[in-house]
Amino acid sequence: MTATALMNTYKPLPLSFVRGEGSTLWDASGKRYLDAMGGVAVTSVGHCHPRVVAAIRDQAGLLLHTSNHYAIDWQHRLAAKLTALSGLDAAFFNNSGAEANETALKLARLAGWYKGVHRPLIVVMEGAFHGRTLATLAASDGAGVRLGFGAYDDDFLRVPFGDVAALEAIARRHGADVVAVLLEPVQGEGGVRPAPEGYLRAVRALCDRQGWLMMLDEVQTGVGRTGHWFAYAEEGVLPDVVTLAKGLANGVPIGACLARARTARLLTPGSHGSTFGGNPLACRVACEVLEIIEEQQLLGNARRQGAWLLKALRERLAGHPGVREVRGKGLMIGIELTEATGKLASQAAEGGLLLNVTRGNVVRLLPALTLKEDEALQIVEHLVALLSPLSLSKVLAEAV
């Protein structure tokens, strides 16, 4: 397949799929693939879930778009559901994770403006990724995604992820000018790195002492990915702002920024908006996805299957000379290799397994929350074969 009219922003594998069901995709020749990537954590309830398909068909025949100049019933229903699940008070809907994070950054700046902070600073993490708009790029780490886009916004202070002492040092040096801390509970693009145990509680306590907003980017971890509706639930904290997107509507574009009441009130009519954000189709599908996760008890499934995968991979890859670490939370698992490889995803696809490699050397697994036991076993068997010392050395040699 050629696509010469497309801008050269991706390096896709020479694969194209024509049909999907659950954790399986088929190409035009009829070859089956086990999808352990889930559209990068998007297809949370599996490809073409019949209830999602029915909701899309029904809503497409009723109403797709009216704009936010009018009330949207499904938007109110989704906001009520998300605030009840999260413990937060209000929602703003847009179309992507980057836009949700832009909303969070605007809330932080507004908070500083109302407090009279001349130049509000936001603390972000080394290894973070928050999106590809100019502001979210500035908040992200890594020269690769930022190269060539001019001057970076210097209103961000970067600290090592998981380092409480570094945050406390920021408080001593810049405390009066800092308005928020923004972080991912598990760094996804950064290599599937969970925050150390107790870190979120420490950040919450510091933000309370300093009067800062605690803002969590749960674009990848939210909506059940870690086995909880929100990753922060595992530590029993309540942030001030949370952002969501990927798994919320199973592939229909939507993003959400949730906030506690005192922070949400900072946005007033005309201060923020989105033409497509929160349209009837996206919000109805998101409501359906949340109901499916609840009714099919997929949070528990994500915990069980994720724990089994993590244990099995650690056992089967123990002592492997090319594997540095296996880590993760729920159905968000990373296998860090000792060397970078750009060929592993294509080698896996040849064998019928779809996965992703991030940070050059971390195999990332993000399967659907509906993953079955036999599918989890297939993932392990595929990976153990793919990462055998002989196979891995061949892949690394081809990557040179």
Q: Which of the residues are catalytic?
A: 129, 217, 246
Helix (H, G, I), strand (E, B) or coil at 256: strand
DSSP 198-259: THHHHHHHHHHHHT-EEEEE-TTTTTTTTSSSSGGGGGT---SEEEE-GGGSTTS--EEEEE
Helix (H, G, I), strand (E, B) or coil at 55: helix
- Residues with Cβ within 8 Å of residue 70, at least 6 apart in sequence: none
Which of 354, 262, 372 lies closest to 33 in space, CA to CA? 354
List the beta bridge partners of residue 278: none
CA–CA gap between residue 204 and residue 78 (Å, rounded): 27
CA–CA gap between residue 143 and residue 385 (Å, rounded): 33
Which of 387, 398, 380 lies closest to 362 in space, CA to CA? 387
Question: What are residue 262's phi and psi, to 5 degrees?
Answer: -65, -25
CA–CA gap between residue 277 and residue 373 (Å, rounded): 37
Helix (H, G, I), strand (E, B) or coil at 193: strand
List the beta bridge partners of residue 371: none
DSSP 296-336: TTHHHHHHHHHHHHHHHHHHHTTT-TTEEEEEEETTEEEEE
Structure tokens at 278: 């929160």
| Count of CA atoms in the C-beta half-sphere (13 A) of 30 | 0
Which of 178, 177, 62, 56 lies closest to 124 in space, CA to CA? 178
- Residues with Cβ within 8 Å of residue 313, at least 6 apart in sequence: 326, 333, 335, 380, 383
Chain position carrying tokens 């760094």: 187
CA–CA gap between residue 273 and residue 370 (Å, rounded): 34
